[in-house]
Amino acid sequence: MAAEVVLLDCYVSLFGMRVRIALAEKGIQYEKKEQDLSNKSSILLQMNPIHKKIPINQENPEDPFSS
Ligand SMILES: N[C@@H](CCC(=O)N[C@@H](CS)C(=O)NCC(=O)O)C(=O)O
């Protein structure tokens, strides 16, 4: 079964680390999608079109506007 939470993240991001710690403390399983911030993916730009930044927490991957 696919994870219900998808985290668009970058391993060097301290903002991302905050989210990873919170998810771990709550015991929430998630799928991590590593992002290249020098070549932003279409999913990143679709999910955060204004700021174009990570982390992005997508709670229902079937619905791209659920985060
Ligand atoms: N206010 C945001 C800041 C997120 C942020 O600055 N993310 C950085 C990575 S640590 C980023 O995506 N930078 C890409 C860019 O500025 O183009 C938060 O708290 O999540």
Residue 58: the pLDDT is 86
Contact 47, 9 (CB under 8 A): no
Residue 7: the pLDDT is 96
Residues of the chain with pLDDT under 50: none
What six digits make up the tokens of 43? 């999913």
Residue 64: the pLDDT is 59
Which residue's alpha carbon is nearest to atom 16 within ligand 1?
53
Q: Give whole-number Cα distances, 30 to 42, 44, 46, 58, in Å.
A: 20, 17, 20, 10
What would the pLDDT profile of 28-44 be if each residue is shown by its tens digit? Answer: 999 999 999 999 999 99
Which residue's alpha carbon is nearest to atom 14 within ligand 1?
53
Q: Ligand 1 within 6 A of 13 CB?
A: yes
Residue 59: the pLDDT is 81
**Entry pTM:** 0.86
Residue 65: the pLDDT is 60
